[in-house]
């Protein structure tokens, strides 16, 4: 008979986050092919580290290689201390893993279920300290 075990992240995964700005730690960035055409899609897996009701809630955003100027530019800027990326330069996305960034979360609907969406990235507030570090 199959046995399963839930982690704390499993229980927090479906928690709806109130729309606002939060500090989040980038846990991993995973590259996958898009189902439609095989182009690269980058899944940014984060965890809210802001003290309060949503601390520890995992949240995922994604970027498409076909539209990097939309979210990718803000993500790279947030991970590089506010330094604006330059055209025609390479940036290693995995350098963002482990960094704290400030994100804006909104809510949306997907198949009738409320989802958490990342609308924006910014540098972490200079006064923010992560208690887990």
pLDDT above 90: residue 1? no
Token pair of 17, please? 């986050």
Position 132 scores a pLDDT of 63
Q: Which residues contact 93 (CB under 8 A, 6 or more apart)?
A: 29, 42, 75, 76
Q: What is the mean pLDDT of residues 26-37?
A: 93
Predicted confidence (pLDDT) per residue in 84-116, tens digit: 999 999 999 999 999 999 999 999 999 999 999
In the chain, what are the domains?
Answer: 16-123 (2.40.50)
Q: What percent of the chain has pLDDT over 90?
A: 78
Position 10 scores a pLDDT of 86
Q: Please state, rounded to an integer, the average pLDDT across all residues of the chain.
A: 92
Q: What pTM does this model have? A: 0.89
pLDDT above 70: residue 25? yes
List own/partner pairs for 40-44 with CB under 8 A and 24 or more apart.
Answer: 40/64, 40/65, 41/65, 42/72, 42/93, 44/75, 44/96, 44/118
Q: Which residues contact 102 (CB under 8 A, 6 or more apart)?
A: 21, 22, 23, 24, 78, 121, 122, 123, 124, 125, 128
Position 130 scores a pLDDT of 84
């Amino acid at each position: 008979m199959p046995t399963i075990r839930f982690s704390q992240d499993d229980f927090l995964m479906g928690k709806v986050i109130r729309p606002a700005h939060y500090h989040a730690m980038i846990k991993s960035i995973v590259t996958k092919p898009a189902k439609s055409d095989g182009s690269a899609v980058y899944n940014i897996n984060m965890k809210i580290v802001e003290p309060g009701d949503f601390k520890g809630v995992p949240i995922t955003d994604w970027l498409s290689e076909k539209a990097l100027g939309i979210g990718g530019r803000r993500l790279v800027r947030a991970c590089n201390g506010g330094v604006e990326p330059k055209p025609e330069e390479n940036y290693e996305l995995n350098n963002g893993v482990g960094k704290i960034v400030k994100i804006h979360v909104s809510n949306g609907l997907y198949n009738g279920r409320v989802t958490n969406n990342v609308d924006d990235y910014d540098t972490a507030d200079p006064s923010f300290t992560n208690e887990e570090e």
